[in-house]
Structure 1
Amino acid sequence: MEYVEDIIDIVIVGAGIAGLATALGLHRKGVKSLVLESSPTLRTSGYAIGTWTNAWHALDALGIGNKVREHHRLVERVVVLSASSGATSAELKLTGVQGKTGKHEFRSVRRDSLVKILAKELPKDTIRYSSKVVLIEDGDNLKLLHLADGSIIKAKVVVGCDGIYSAVAKFIGLKEPSFSGRLSTRGYAEYPTNHGFKPEFVVITGGGIRIGMLPNSEKSIYWFFTWRPSKKVADKVQQSMANMREFVIQKLTSLKVPKEIIQVIERSEMSQVFSTELKYQSPFSLLFGRIIKGNICVIGDALHPMTPDIGQGGCMALEDSVILARCLSDAVYKGKIEEGLEKFANERRWRCAEVVARAYIVGFIQQSSNWLLSFLREKVFARTLARALLKTPDYDCGKL
């Protein structure tokens, strides 16, 4: 039996990083919101996100930057290696390097740690669990959110933070993300004592693969492996976690990958290794498509899914959250919600399209096995591609 609840000003769909950060931004501005989460508890799956300078500007704006920093190690430099020769293609110093928006800062942040910090800062009744949205309808100037338990929530504003397969994005009419043709496997290794690795982000490219490894702390390491599979190979290796890990290790052993990196993958717990398709939103859809609809919008992966080649997925979600909270809180006070959302959309279109396109191009060049691109990548483009890691995060979303 359906039952209708009272009208709620702002409903956020999804209690991931984007949803919780938006709720916190609104809370800091004195605006109450309700976050609907389909899971029965806070979702802490996933391992780590590369958190660059732009993300730290956002976290500082939300007032939690230092709480996150104290648990995560500062990465001092980026080292790019060739998978075919093992030689160093490029090195990029990070510590003390000044950008347009301040000194560059990069850390690998555990996703569960960040989500818990965000949730702890919110008022107790902000997150409602086991609340899956199954249908969205228009209702005069409101949106009607039908939940799986039969209840209906009336919302003045709906913010979709429900990920790459967003129901809110579908309602708006945003184009579905495209498959990049690549898969990504990620893992996490923990050590009883100091693992001994330097605070460096090591990236190995070429031979049709891209692998990266960076420490979260002195006892934990996050790694990723991206590859372009044939259907036969993909079906086989994804039948079990054991097959997946064996495939990654065999692939890396056949290339010039340092043994210590392979050993990190060997010691990763099987429950901490998984594979996903890498998808991205068309930059043209972001520039010219509908990313808001009246009093409803999307942010984070629901708005701009991208390949992970410049480490900006989570960082861009945090940018979105601060900017939306600023635009939306001002609009709520003035009674001009649609104007506030339009302002948000105008501010984010070009930024999102540019970053999505840059990530795709960097990934295409880095992972290509074409002989000409491989030669140019290692002899000409390597340092330029490395610098792209600094250019993109040299951005400040501003204060709340």
Structure 2
Amino acid sequence: MRIAVVGAGIGGLALAAGLQARGADVVVLESSPTLRSGGTAITMAPNALRALESLGYADALAQHPYTVSSDVAAQRSPDGRTLTLLPSEIVSRVRVMPREELHLMLASQVTAGRIRLGCRVDSVSTAGTVRFTDGNGAARTWAFDLVVGADGSRSAVRRAWPNDPGLQDAGYSAWRAITREPVDLTGPDGLAAAGETWGDGTRFGFAPLADGRAYWFAVQTNSVVHRHDDERHLPSTQLLSRLADRFAHWHAPIPQLISATDPEDMHFTRATELAADLPTFSQGRLVLIGDAAHAMTPNLGQGGAQALEDAATLAICLDHLLTDPPGLVNSDRLRRALDRYDTLRQPRIREMARLARTLGTVAHLRMPGAAALRNLTLRMLPDSRVEEPLHRIMDWRPPPPTGR
């Protein structure tokens, strides 16, 4: 079976490796001239790690010691008061990886020469035809048994959908960075922990890396950002100074994390999501994974994990077809496989998108007294109310092969 994977991001690379290991002829078309990680660090929850293991990365993961160095993860108020503690049973199984290292690990499992850089996809057809411009500027048209759109929220493949909803602004923006040096992550309660702190329309999160440095992010509602001269356009040094002033009175180690960061290492993003759910992730010989299929707000930290779940599920659904000769893949059998992928992924994705959207709404409350009331409510919640949605997210396991 000949398959094109459009996009060399997390989901695309992992899927390509998993399909090749199962016998498919796979080529990855990436528009960038280099293999870029596109960010700072990523939190890999247990569901993401299971997906990677299903795709053949168990040995590679065992060689990468990117684990959270504490079993404690707390949610706090800006004065340092603990609102909730996340279950240590889950936190101890989370890995925090620099995105560059993750991309290198994923790409290392893809057959040499099968990642084509500088290839900009211009159009695709539901018959499996891809028209693209290669790295030398030459226009090419190739035919495939299946084309996978793994090319992110502004997917060129998704444009072939007659009802592509496009993107909408989620209402907040984020700055992310990795500190230039190790930072003591001991909080005001004496616990060395990862965590997230919720203020009034503003929040801050952090997690340790294996080498002692820390990954952090700051999120603010766009109404706050715009009131400060649209900070996206400020020099990075001035922006970091403003962030330092804004979080100067928040609990430790938040001010210390900002002061241990080089301005040029910060990344800015506006949070977006699909304006509406896609009714199907496949059309003819086209199928979508990751943000191309279901770009959601980043509040759960599950964007990469859901792309990997997609990749693992799609590989399993296609498994019985992957060794078929190119051009001889039965359309009816392929349609059943893609329908199964849709059936398995649609309910899960819709729940994740809804949870992420709801969490963002709660986290960015701006009405007078609303944030204080929210934080009081979080302190009073029983542990089971915190743990139950976390287990729904992180206890995912790959589906059984087709026919079982």
Q: Tell whether 2:293 aligns with 1:303.
A: yes
Corresponding residue number in structure 2 for 1:5: none
1:321 is aligned, of 311, 320, 324, to: 311
2:61 is aligned, of 68, 73, 93, to: 68
- Per-residue deviation, 1:109: 1.4
1:188–1:399 Cα change, 3 Å: farther
Uncovered stretches (5+) of structure 1, i.e. residues with no partner: 1-7, 98-102
- Number of positions where the alignment pairs a residue of Structure 1 with one of Structure 2: 377
Q: Which amino acid aligns with 1:321?
A: A
CA distance in 2 between counterparts of 1:281 and 1:226 reads: 20
For 1:91-130, what aligned pairs fall within 5 Å after superposition? 91-95=85-89, 105-130=93-118
Instruction: Give CA deviations for 1:21-77 in whole Å, capped at 9, x if unaligned.
Output: 110110121112100011222112311111111011112212324533533023512
CA distance in 1 between counterparts of 2:373 and 2:245 reads: 26
TM-score, normalised by the number of residues in structure 2: 0.86
Q: Tell whether 2:361 aligns with 1:368.
A: no
Q: Is the 8 A contact 2:96 2:207 kept in 1?
A: yes
Corresponding residue number in structure 2 for 1:4: none
For 1:79-158, what aligned pairs fall within 5 Å after superposition? 79-83=74-78, 85-95=79-89, 105-137=93-125, 141-147=127-133, 149=137, 150-158=139-147
Q: Is the 8 A contact 1:310 1:389 kept in 2?
A: no
Corresponding residue number in structure 2 for 1:258: 251
Q: Is the 8 A contact 2:73 2:194 kept in 1?
A: yes
User: Aligned residues: percent identity?
Assistant: 26
Q: Is the 8 A contact 1:79 1:203 kept in 2?
A: yes
Aligned to 1:33, what secondary structure does the other structure show?
A: strand
CA distance in 2 between counterparts of 1:399 and 1:190 reads: 43
Which range is displaced more, 330-339 or 54-63? Answer: 330-339
2:153 is aligned, of 164, 176, 196, to: 164
* Off by >6 Å, runs of 4+ in structure 1: none
Q: Which amino acid aligns with 2:243?
A: V
CA distance in 2 between counterparts of 1:80 and 1:315 reads: 21
Q: Is the 8 A contact 1:190 1:219 kept in 2?
A: no
Q: Tell whether 2:206 aligns with 1:213.
A: yes
Q: Which amino acid aligns with 2:143?
A: K
More strand by share: 1
- Per-residue deviation, 1:15: 0.5
Aligned to 1:187, what secondary structure does the other structure show?
A: strand
- Per-residue deviation, 1:270: 2.0
C-alpha RMSD over aligned residues:
2.3
Which range is displaced more, 295-304 or 195-204? Answer: 195-204
CA distance in 1 between counterparts of 2:107 and 2:400 reads: 20
Q: Tell whether 2:332 aligns with 1:343.
A: no
Aligned to 2:171, what secondary structure does the other structure show?
A: strand
- Per-residue deviation, 1:301: 1.1
1:242–1:388 Cα change, 3 Å: farther
Which range is displaced more, 127-136 or 235-244? Answer: 235-244
Q: Tell whether 2:240 aligns with 1:245.
A: yes
CA distance in 1 between counterparts of 2:361 and 2:58 reads: 33
For 1:225-240, what aligned pairs fall within 5 Å after superposition? 225-230=218-223, 231-233=226-228, 235-240=230-235
Corresponding residue number in structure 1 for 2:261: 268
1:52–1:142 Cα change, 3 Å: closer
- Per-residue deviation, 1:386: 6.8
Q: Is the 8 A contact 1:13 1:158 kept in 2?
A: yes
Which range is displaced more, 242-251 or 29-38? Answer: 242-251
CA distance in 2 between counterparts of 1:340 and 1:165 reads: 25
